[in-house]
Amino acid sequence: MQDRLQALKEEALLKIQQASDLKALQDIKVSYLGKKGPITEVLKGMGKLSPEERPVVGAYANEVRDAITSALELKISELEQAVIEEKLKKESIDVTLPGRPVRKGNAHPLTAVIEEIEDLFLTMGFTVAEGPEVETDYYNFEALNLPKDHPARDMQDSFFITEDILLRTQTSPVQARTMEKHHGRGPVKIISPGKVYRRDDDDATHSHQFMQIEGLVVDENVRLSDLKGVLETFAKKMFGEERKIRLRPSFFPFTEPSVEMDISCFKCGGKGCSICKHTGWIEILGAGMVHPNVLEMAGFDSKKYTGFAFGMGPERIAMLKYGIDDIRHFYTNDLRFLKQFKKA
């Protein structure tokens, strides 16, 4: 019986040595060490041995099992290492080759302009305030001196969700909400950037969704001259120190008096060209002194507090600043367009 076990051991070790893959080793393991293997069959005959021979044969059988198991583990380790080395050879990297350049992104031109405007007003002591894009009719219109029957509402054809809920048509509701939070106590000094929505037909200069930045200052003894000073600083920092501004009378329901601000054309210097439509001036934004009704509805005493507000479209600022002729370029995600602003 020991001779038979010795022969099985030598036979198994030879097959293990000749095995060329992991599957073959698994087959050898099952064949020799499995429940139906030859070693198990030999051990079944131990009952015919004398009591003195049984422990000797049993110990030798265990030695054979251990030898085969050890040989299998060693061969498996060798084959696994060979697989890894072969894979490394095939996937080797020539570290002397120059690396592939990583394409870096850049800020969207609108984002760049908005951040530039925000930084400018932050240096003048303003803070940035934000509010919901889905707004109530009250904050979007009524709190801004636009009651339900006011004809000026026709200027802002809106996306209504319900009779009293709509997509905001301006960021002015942020001003009303901010003033309410101050509970009638100044000062208030904010800008409110964000997306707004109006039912417009999309073309080169109009979009149903666009960005807006509005500003608000409320305090005691705020004058129109303060508004002019702030706007003049903005124009010079944004379009060049040589820029001049002019204020023209206008109408907005939430301000009184109301003005439109123009800047001297940065292309022709005021002489007249296609950009300024040969007038020498370019319209930039609307502004005015906060209407007393708006102050009162927000809880401020209009006899004690005054204020000014202004609003501008970052798309228009960016179009003028970078010479862009179609507002739709900002929203089509065309990389050929966006790559031009890596240094913007």
The tokens describing 148, both together, are 């339900």
Whether residue 65 contacts residue 43, with contact meaning beta carbons closer than 8 Å, is answered with no
3-state secondary structure the chain: CHHHHHHHHHHHHHHHHHCCCHHHHHHHHHHHHCCCCHHHHHHHHHHHCCCCHHHHHHHHHHHHHHHHHHHHHHHHHHHHHHHHHHHHHHCCCCCCCCCCCCCCCCCCHHHHHHHHHHHHHHHCCCEECCCCCEEEHHHHCHHHCCCCCCHHHHHCCCCECCCCEEECCCCHHHHHHHHHHCCCCCCEEEEEEEEEECCCCCCCCCCCEEEEEEEEEEECCCCHHHHHHHHHHHHHHHHCCCCCEEEEEEEECCEEEEEEEEEECCCCCCCCCCCCCCCCEEEEEEEEEECHHHHHHCCCCCCCCEEEEEEECHHHHHHHHHCCCCHHHHCCCCHHHHHHHCCC
**Residues sharing a CB contact under 8 Å with residue 281, sequence separation 6 or more, in sequence order:** 246, 262, 263, 264, 265, 270
Nearest CA to 193 out of 297, 292, 116 is that of: 116
* Residue 28: count of CB within 10 angstroms of its CB: 22
Known binding residue 163? Answer is no
Residue stretches of the annotated binding site: 256
Residue stretches of the annotated binding site for Mg(2+): 256
